Amino acid sequence: MSFEKQFGVIFTNPKLPVLDYRTLDENIEIGSLVEVPLGSKVVIGIVWSAGDTKFDHTRLKQIIGTVNNIKLRSEFISFLKRAHAYTLSPIQSFLKMAVQSLQFHKDQKMPIAYKLNHYDYFQITPRQKELVKYIKEQPAETAQYSKIKKDLGVSLSVVKSLEKKGVLSQIVENKSKQEKMSHEPITLSLEQSRAASQIREKYVENEFQSWLLYGVTGSGKTEVYLNLASERIGKGEQVLILLPEISLTVDFKQRIMKRYGAIAGEWHSQLSLNERRSVFKNVANGCLKLLVGARSALFLPFKNLNLIIVDEEHDSSYKQEEAPIYNARDLAVLRASILKSQVILSSATPSIETWHNCKLGKYHKVNLLKRFGEVYEPRVTLIDMNVEETSKNSWISVPIIDQIRLSLEKKEQILIFLNRRGYAPIAFCTTCRISLECKNCSTKLVYHKTKKCYMCHICGYRVSETTECVKCKSSDNFIPIGPGVERIRDEVSKLFPDATSMIFSSDNLLKGEKNLEEMDKIKSGEINIIIGTQLVSKGYNFPHLKLVAVIDADMGLNAGDHRVIEKSYQVIKQVVGRAGRYASDGRALIQTWMPRHPVLQALLKDHGEKFLNAELEQRIEANVPPHGKFISLIISGKKERQLIDFGIKLKNQFYSLNLHDFEIFGPAVAPISRIKNKTRVRLLIKSNKMKKISQSEVRDWLRNISVPNNIYFSIDIDPYNFY
Ligand SMILES: [Zn+2]
Ligand SMILES: [Zn+2]
């Protein structure tokens, strides 16, 4: 006879408390994913604690059953708990990423595929013939029905009729069976194998280690960490590689498959539900050894994860700005510390936080300073815009035009970098002297010529390009002010009508296979001139690229926060580093109005470590992170007065805590005062030193703040943005 047990079950909705349920199922224990009744619904829950014996257990509802026998490991639960404790975001929102929904786990239909059996068939319609020919050309003469439908547009009845004739047979594709890593030796350069063995030799089973793999763009950091990854996989362990940009994963996966014979899984928001289900299952059961993913991949329930790699660790896209607010780079380090495994942070331009941790001896550092195959850094030239002239409505200076012309003659590829999407950042009515603004946010609408609209880059609101001025009701008086990538492309087309050009920005990015086709055009050199936003700085490979032109190096330097210099340096350095990765004659031209600025001087002289040390020293001097800590409090709602009052109340509460190592600033209306029709007010807490005890006092206070119903309150620990 089995005993009835009682458990506390937690849900993925932050508003719900832990509720007690009973069960006779002996397999259910803490960490089990379960299906439970909740009100009139059935939902997914996680067995969280032993039940509260005060309850009369006969009145408790019963757990319906486990969800596919999935159980979260205790190590994983402590990771989620500590992620919650650090970020102060509700644990339920992390759990939601970790367990998905009940629907996600139900009705798991494996993708149906059809395989060609034989070619000798009689009485076949032209449509059927077309289908047979198509499948014959597919790998292993097999194709998924969804793909057949997409490519040929044939209905299921055509497929079924061939199945009846025995020409095709249906198979259930189980991708996980193909996962294996080839054990072919990978040839590393001397420098690369030195770096790899440094990390390998320090490896101790069940010991947490955080590594910075520091190497210039093109030094082959990827080869180094893939080499280490393949060793872990060879031992049957799982490896997670985080990438800063979703669109990179397809390209990256192909590279791995080509060179290492491994089939990697991918995890990001662009996957179909079935793909997500398959990856989730194989991550949880340990079949999938290598996962490449966006930041949310960190919250999957791996079976035996033993190495995490964060590629381009400095990249700001690891920071999730909406709830739950967290930094995946920092949480990757946390997860590795709980797993007692290695984490490798890879970058050519490491973040100051990581650099600081290396200096403190918390992180190990391994340098990979030579470019692969003895290639030198691109030659950088600053173009002083105080001296150079450009004609009206033109943004490319004469020296750059001359260099582009020379490069085109030599059949070299050129990248023009401007970190601004669309055609022009502002549209202005010449009669009324007012600009177009978002109706939901306190922002200017950006003109997108290709999309024929004006768009808000914060909330996505858009109006047609034929919109009227609110004052004079005319749509003919708008003029675009300033350049975006589309406008630069127009200028390029006028200057070099015979050159092929392409815009490389998130607006123009295509999904999956289509994206690969576009990338191939760049890789093959078919495209002469690429005009790109920050997206180009995210680890793409441009083998033919020789010349990089930066249109406006000063753009990021006007923001007022402590990371301005670091961010500007990272972006431009990464973009410049794309030039001449595979040859010695890479060149970069940088347009600036501030050629004496430390960022531009550092880029010119290629200081690398010297820059990082100087910047860290400046931060310590100024007493800002990573020396000390920032916590942002963001209050939003309808009425500004009420928000300010609530802010003042918080400030007074904070003062009454009597903490000497902390300061509080605000409340003040945020630089972007309105987003999605909500007014925003900010406070900033600053700690002078990293005092752990008082820090937890701050956290205890923050955790217990009661927020009025009509106010939204969010806490951003280690904020990246201050708008
Ligand atoms: Zn907006
Ligand atoms: Zn007007």
Q: Give distance in angstroms: CA of 461 to centre of ligand 1.
A: 5
Q: Is 121 exposed, middle or buried (0-12, 13-18, 19+ CB in 10 A)?
A: middle
Per the prediction, the chain carries an average pLDDT of: 88
Ligand 2 centroid, distance to 429 Cα (angstroms): 5
User: Minimum-distance ligand to the CA of 441?
Assistant: 1
| Phi, psi dihedrals of residue 243, rounded to the nearest 5° | -120, 150
Band of pLDDT at residue 2, cut at 50, 70 and 90:
low
Higher confidence at residue 377 or residue 173?
377
Ligand 1 centroid from CA 536, angstroms: 25
Ligand nearest to the CA of 471: 2
For residue 426, the CA-to-ligand 2 centroid distance in Å is 14
Per-residue pLDDT, 176: 42
Complex prediction ipTM? 0.97
Does CATH number 2.60.40 belong to domain 112-173?
no
CA of residue 677 to ligand 1 center, whole Å:
8
- Token pair 């309850």 is found at 55
Q: How far is the CA of 445 from the centre of ligand 1 (A)?
A: 8
* 476 CA from centroid of ligand 2 (Å): 9
| CA of 678 relative to ligand 1 center, distance in Å | 10
Helices H, strands E: what count in the chain? Answer: 20, 33
Q: How far is the CA of 551 from the centre of ligand 1 (A)?
A: 27
Ligand whose nearest atom lies closest to the CA of 435: 2
Q: Please state, as a whole number, how many other Cβ atoms lie within 10 Å of the Cβ of residue 139.
A: 6
The pLDDT value given to residue 73: 95
| Per-residue pLDDT tens over the stretch 385-429 | 999 878 888 999 999 999 999 999 999 999 999 999 999 999 999
Above 50 in pLDDT, residue 179?
A: no
pLDDT for residue 696:
77
User: Which H/E stretch holds residue 164?
Assistant: helix 156-164
**Token pair 């391994």 in the structure block, residue:** 366
pLDDT of residue 180: 47
pLDDT tens per residue, range 315-350: 999 999 988 999 999 999 999 999 999 999 999 999
Q: Inform me whether the pLDDT recorded for 376 exceeds 70.
A: no
Give CA–CA dist 52/241, Å, rounded: 40
Q: Counting ligands in written order, which one lies closest to the CA of residue 457?
A: 1
pLDDT, one tens digit per residue, over 143-155 is 888 888 888 888 8
- What interhelical angle do 156-164 and 126-136 show, nearest 10? 80
pLDDT surpassing 80 at residue 443: yes
Q: What is the pLDDT of residue 461?
A: 95
What are the strands, taking DSSP E only, across 436-487?
Answer: 446-448, 453-455, 462-464, 478-481
CA of 444 from ligand 1 middle (Å) equals 8
Within 43-107, residue ranges assigned H as helices are 74-87, 91-99, 102-105
Which ligand approaches the C-alpha of residue 474 most closely?
2
The rounded Å distance from CA 460 to ligand 1 centre is: 6
- Residue 183 pLDDT: 46
Q: What is the reported pLDDT for 107?
A: 66
**Beta-bridge partners for 213:** 346, 366
Which ligand sits closest to the CA of 675? 1
Distance between Cα 555 and ligand 1 center (Å): 21
Q: How far is the CA of 466 from the centre of ligand 2 (A)?
A: 13
Sequence-distant (≥ 6) Cβ neighbours of residue 471 within 8 angstroms: 429, 431, 432, 434
Give the H/E segment covering residue 605.
Answer: helix 598-605
Average pLDDT over residues 532-544: 84
Tens of pLDDT, residues 30-79: 999 999 999 999 999 999 999 887 777 778 899 999 998 899 999 999 99
> Residue range 211-226: average pLDDT?
88
Ligand 1 centroid to residue 162 C-alpha, Å: 53
CA separation for the pair 544, 580 (Å, rounded): 7
Total Cβ atoms within 10 A of residue 7: 26
Residues paired with 426 in a beta bridge: 481
Task: Give 608 Cα–ligand 2 centroid separation in angstroms.
Answer: 50
In this prediction, residue 629 carries a pLDDT of 86
Question: pLDDT per residue over 94-134, tens digit each?
Answer: 999 999 999 999 866 666 778 887 766 677 888 888 888 88
pLDDT-based confidence at residue 11 (cuts at 50, 70, 90): very high
C-alpha 463 – ligand 2 centre gap (Å): 16
What is the pLDDT at residue 217?
Answer: 77
Task: List the shell of residues around ion ligand 2, using CB closer than 5 Å.
Answer: 429, 431-432, 469, 471-472
pLDDT at 511: 67
626 prior amide bond cis, ω within 30 = yes
Secondary structure (H, E, C), 493-511: HHHCCCCCEEEECCCCCCC
Residue 159 alpha carbon to ligand 1 centre in Å: 47
For residue 507, give both structure tokens: 């607006």
Fold topology of 379-420+483-621: Rossmann fold (3.40.50)
> What are the backbone dihedrals phi and psi of residue 316, each rounded to the nearest 5 degrees, phi first?
-70, -10
pLDDT > 90 in the chain, percent = 55
State the pLDDT at residue 181: 46
For range 155-159, the mean pLDDT: 83
User: How far is residue 75 from each of residues 72, 336, 637, measured CA to CA in Å?
Assistant: 8, 10, 38
Give the rounded percent of residues in the chain with a pLDDT score beyond 70. Answer: 92
Tell me, in angstroms, the distance from the centre of ligand 1 to residue 437's CA: 8
Measure the CA angle with vertex 556, ends 553 and 560; round to 5°.
140
pLDDT higher than 90, residue 687? no
CATH architecture of 5-105: 3-Layer(aba) Sandwich (3.40)
- pLDDT at position 100: 93
Q: Ligand 1 center to residue 673 CA distance, Å?
A: 11
pLDDT of the residue at 120: 67
Least distant ligand from the CA of 427: 2
Query: Which strands form 478-481's sheet, in the order they lie side by side?
Result: 434-435, 426-429, 478-481
Report the CATH number of the 629-717 domain: 3.30.70.600
Q: Quote the ligand 1 centre to 670 CA distance (angstroms).
A: 15
Distance CA 690, CA 88 (A): 18
Ligand 2 centroid distance, CA of 422 (Å): 22
Residue 269 CB coordination number (10 Å):
8
Q: Span 190-368: which CATH code?
A: 3.40.50.300
Over residues 611-650, the pLDDT tens digits come to 999 999 999 888 888 888 899 999 999 999 999 999 999 9
Distance 424 CA to ligand 2 centre (A): 18
Task: Measure the CA–CA gap between 320 and 330, rounded to whole angstroms.
Answer: 12
From ligand 2's centre to the CA of 478, what distance in Å? Answer: 8
**Phi and psi based region of residue 676 (left: phi greater than 0; alpha: psi -120 to 50; beta: remaining):** left
Nearest ligand, measured from the Cα of 475: 2
- Find the 474 Cα to ligand 2 centroid distance in Å: 6
- What are the phi and psi torsion angles at 291 (to 5°)? -120, 130
CA distance 455 to 448: 7
Say how many C-beta atoms besides its own lie within 10 A of residue 40's C-beta. 5
Q: 440 alpha carbon to ligand 2 midpoint, in Å?
A: 20
* Mean pLDDT within 300-314: 96
CA of 538 to the centre of ligand 1 (A): 26
Tell me the chain's radius of gyration from C-alpha atoms: 28
Spans of all domains in the chain: 5-105, 112-173, 190-368, 379-420+483-621, 629-717
| Residue (of 51, 59, 57, 5) closest to 27 by Cα position | 5
Q: CA separation (Å) from 92 to 4, 22, 700, 710? A: 27, 21, 18, 22
Question: Quick one: CA dihedral 60, 61, 65, 71, positive or negative?
Answer: negative
Are the folds of 190-368 and 379-420+483-621 the same?
Answer: yes
Q: Which of 167-176, 201-210, 508-517 has the lowest mean pLDDT?
A: 167-176
Contact 539, 312 (CB under 8 A): yes
Distance from the CA of 57 to the center of ligand 2, in angstroms?
71
